[in-house]
Amino acid sequence: MDSPEQTPQTQERLIGDLRLVIENAEELLKNTDQYTSVLYQNARAKLALALNAATEELARFEDAKLVRMMAATQAANIEHADLSGEARIMRAFK
């Protein structure tokens, strides 16, 4: 659900930030595999769960973005009466 203050730039920044957090968490999990204490293993398990949730959320964000982009493209095609792919391309370069 988008709030009024969420601009496309803000959403892009948030998606980028989430990707970075996921990458860092994956790297941390990979680099702490050798620690076998219960404390480390519990922390790693919690991080793995959070990482899984973040990855799923990122996929939902990206799917929603794709749906919005497709809807915007379709609306532009209708608005400009683009009947072919060539017409769409030519309009893009005007």
- Report how far residue 44's alpha carbon sits from residue 10's, in angstroms, rounded to the nearest whole number: 30
Task: Check residue 2 and give its pLDDT.
Answer: 47
Q: What is the pTM of this model?
A: 0.65
Structure tokens of 33?
A: 């595999």
Cα separation, 88 vs 56, whole angstroms = 33
pLDDT value at position 4?
46
Domain ranges of the chain: 8-92
pLDDT of residue 1: 46
**pLDDT tens digits, the chain, 94 residues: what are they?**
445 456 878 888 888 999 999 999 999 999 998 998 999 999 999 999 999 999 999 999 889 889 998 998 888 888 888 778 788 788 778 7
